[in-house]
Structure 1
């Protein structure tokens, strides 16, 4: 944090604090809840404090989209790029991101997709993010020897299943999702993960 940010934090809050409040309001209630006065009330701060960190509501909304891209899309790409000895391990890395929900927030993804129905600009950003995500998954398949066309189809299958989970707001406990992972991997890749990979995967999720 730079000196100016530190100076303006505290009783005015901070940029991160206002942004997190906006994210929470957005996923809990919807876009209309992301209003300066409502956020100030939520944070017990003055409305004028907001303007130390954002020019206006439009700037806050743009920051919210950037946060979504950095966290959700970033987490997916990072998982695809992570070290893996086998393709099955690589897909388990990717599935882990969706199960943990610590970095990839499905509620935020769902909310942004709803927002896209109201805005052509957001629609374009969602399409761009989807393209980047699918490209990252495709690159994972290519890395382990799949031809471009087949890698593309498999990447779409992996991604569209997950988007289906998000769009339908499917709720499953962690144990159920972990238990299903091995069969998902086999379907996606044509290969079964070995027991060592599954043991590490289960341990990662406390199962």
Structure 2
């Protein structure tokens, strides 16, 4: 079996890292809970335009009007605070120990994504990493999945033997479907509302893997 994982909010808790940075920044600048709520809302789980988010941060914190510097400020804050979900890297080790191939397929800026990967020691637990900013395409473009399979030496693998797992319906589930793989959605307690359900839905990455690896989902 081949397992492809999203990075943010799948292997590592990116949203908690942003919230931790934002909370400290708001406190350091003497701002209010309303400012914190506005900044977190503007982040939109990492899917907002970075320049738009920077504008909200500048306004709410009273920072100098420098969008690139503000983008680097919050990116550095995320890198400083990000952590892997408890036990998730052990799960990757179990999969590899059973002879499975494991890869990461992530959208984002190369320096930012590689920084999070390094801080959380992800690379040591996987066989390949594909970052959209290094490839010139991003999820849900299926070429990212094809690139990951090539790097895993599995370009000709039966797509029924491949799982794409992530928390974002419009990116992770969509790219798996576009590439013809099976799909697992990490819900974090949300209700699925993206049309046809993925093959597996569970609250955490570890739970998704457990369900996907169960006999009920064997070929």
* TM-score, normalised relative to structure 1: 0.38
Which structure dedicates a bigger proportion of its chain to strand?
2
Structure 1 or 2, whichever has the larger Rg, is: 1
Which structure dedicates a bigger proportion of its chain to helix?
1
